[in-house]
Every structure is written in C-alpha cells, then in structure tokens.
A = this chain, B = another copy of it.
Amino acid sequence: MPLTLDDRKKMILKAVVDDYIATAEPVGSKSLVSRHQLPVSSATIRNEMAELEELGYLEQPHTSAGRVPSDKGYRTYVDELMEVETLPDDEARIIQDVLRANMAEVTGLIRSASSLLSEQTQYASLALSPKCCKNHLQQIKMLMIEPGRALVVVVLSAGLVKDRMVRIPEMLDSAQLMQIASAIEEGLQGMTLDDITLVAVSAAGKHTPLPDSLLNQVLYEAYVSIKQADNLEVYMAGSNKLLAYPEFADVARAKIALDTLAKEGMVAGYLSETREEADDSTYMIRIGQEIALAGLENCSFVTTTYKFGDTVAGRIGVIGPRRMSYAKVISNINFVRMNLNDQIRRLGAGID
C-alpha cells in the first residue's frame, strides 16, 4: 500500500473535494469526468475512487451514491492539493479600511477583525482576546468616581488596557487612592502577570501610610483587576450564518452545534490549548473529528495567530461546515492576519 498517492489519484481527490465543496452533494464518477473534462472514462474514475475509499480518503453515504471526502481526504486536500487564491482587490480593500478605522484600541481591532472574517467568508468567526503569560504590568491607575467607587485601569505591556469598576472604603479620598496605585505600580513594576500574587500586591501596597483596614480591600480589588486583565475572552460573530448550509438543515443538529459554540468557555479553552502546535505554519486547520468538541463533528476550524511584537498573543479564525471553502477562508485569514499584526504594531509604536 503506497504511503503517498500517485498523481492521478491526487488529481481525482482534489476534484472530488472541489466539487463537494461547491455542491454539497456526493460526487459520482460520471459527473466528475464531465465537470472536469477528464481524459479518462468514468469507469477508470470508478476504480480509482474505489481505491481512494479503501485508503480512507473518501466515503460513501450509502452504496450507489457518489463519494464524499472523509476527514483524511479533507486533510490531504488542505495540506497538499488545494490552490489558495489571492484575495480579490475589493475584498482586500474592505478589510484594510475597516481595520484602519478601528485602530484606536486593541480589543476593538480584534473584534472588528473577527466580524470582518465572518462577513467576508459567510461562516462564523471567533477570536480570542490577547493573552500572553509573558505580559508585564506596566501601569495601574485608580480613578475615584465617587466616594466608595473607583475605576481601576490596568495597562499591560504592548499597550493592552483593561479597566474595572470596584468598591472601595468610603473614607478614602482621591489623593490617597492615587497614592496606593502608585505604590502598587512601583512595587510590581515589570513583573510578569503570572508572578503577581495577592501577597506581592499587598507587600507593594503596604508602603503607603494608611491603616490596614482601609488598604486591604483596595489591594484585593487591585489584585483581582490585574488578574482579570489577562482573562481569556472570546468574541464570536455570525454563528447564525451557519444555518444557511445544508449540513445544518436539520434543526436538531444545528442546535447542538450552535449550543456548543455558545458555550464560549469551551471553545476558548479548546483553542487556547492548541496554542503551541503548528507555530511555524501561519494557520492551523482542524477538520471534523480532529476537533475534540462534541457537537462540532462536521465542522472545521481554520485559525491563525496574531502577535504583539514578536510573541503570539491570541488566535483568530473561522468556524464553518467541514465542507467549507478552505481556499477562500485561508486567503481571507492570511490577509486579515497580516493587516491585524500590522495595525497592532503601529498601535504599539504610536503611529497613526
């Protein structure tokens, strides 16, 4: 049994996947030759397809139906056979324009990149908020809103900013609050987020000449705010677009898939685990069963990473039916990735 397919088999596999992606219907030998004007007869194709099935690249929904790609079939398709188009100018322009218009802030930038992907590909899209364990605390500010309430602003390296409303003792005034914040900031300057503990925050804050009774609550809230700044968040867009595809014609199946996607934590967890693998290639593809999430068996993920400086910060990608137009999705994702990294770099560098 050959480990690699001969050229004709590759050619046929590619044709089958292409056709199935286009039509969503099992493709037969006869329609294949006519559609692609192959120089051989349908009988030959039949023999080849039978072999491809035996090798696990194709499947038959039932005897006397055409063939459908298996996970393995899709896999070799995306790894070896597919031709990635370059993005049409008009689509490229849209992406560039939208990203440029949203570059005031990282979160908004990523969110809009995600929406863009969904809009352009007509699949669902998702993005993970930037999270980098090597992130440093750069600043922490506390802003008095009214007696008893303050806004804690945490600035991480790479210019990522998060804030959070907290309750503080009513007796604290604005000046004291700022004093505490600077004490913490000084004490933790440059520490990585993982290294920051409640003890460390407390130690830093104790340099302030204030009674513990007032301090403790504030220090605790500061600690929580810092930790929360690094929380993994998910932005998802266009999941209802999936209902347009025939693989979701059955509402029950559709519901299972959408319910799974709605549990953002699950998807986030899954994607963040896969962080390390395949770092060299620009994108990562998970097909069907390769996704270990119940309910997404006939879906595929295509994701890529975006960077802060030169460290990977998060993922952004597309979720669609297994039978998705990988070529189109990948060209979009690559372009978005490039532009996203570009804008983030500019944002960090302060270029307008």
Which residues does A use to contact B, with CB under 8 Å? 104-105, 108, 139, 141, 143, 145-149, 151, 153, 155, 159, 161, 163-167, 170, 238-240, 243-244, 248-251, 254-255, 258-259, 262, 350, 352
**Residue in A104, A163, A251 with the greatest tally of chain B CB atoms within 10 Å:** A251
A contact face: mostly helix, strand, loop, or mixed: mixed
A105 touches B165 (CB 8 A): yes
CA distance A141 to B150 in the complex (A): 12
Is there contact, CB below 8 Å, between A147 and B259? Answer: no
Tell me the number of copies of this protein. 2
Decide if A139 touches B145 in the complex (CB within 8 Å): yes
Output the least CB separation between A174 and chain B (Å): 10
Give the Cβ gap from A135 to chain B, nearest Cβ, in Å: 15
Contact between chains at B254 and A149 (CB < 8 Å): no
Q: Which residues of B contact A159 (CB under 8 A)?
A: 145-146, 149
What is the minimal beta-carbon distance from A164 to any residue of chain B, in angstroms?
8
Q: Out of B105, B151, B238, B350, which one reaches A153, CB within 8 Å?
A: B151
B254 near A167 with CB under 8 A, answer no
Which residues in B have their C-beta under 8 angstroms from that of A108?
165
A272 to chain B, nearest CB (A): 23
A165 near B170: Cβ-Cβ < 8 Å:
no
Residues of chain B with a CB closer than 8 A to A262's CB: 238, 240
Q: Would you list 9 pairs from A and B whose C-beta atoms are within 8 A, ordered by A residue?
A: A139-B145, A143-B153, A145-B161, A147-B350, A149-B159, A161-B165, A163-B163, A170-B350, A243-B251
Q: Top 3 closest A-B pairs, CB basis?
A: A105-B165, A148-B350, A243-B255
**A250 proximity list for chain B (CB < 8 A):** 251
Q: In the assembled complex, which residues on chain B have CB atoms less than 8 Å from the CB atom of A164?
A: 104-105
Among B105, B146, B148, B251, the residue within 8 A (CB) of A251 is: B251
Instruction: From B161, B167, B243, B259, give the contact of A104 (CB < 8 A).
Output: B167
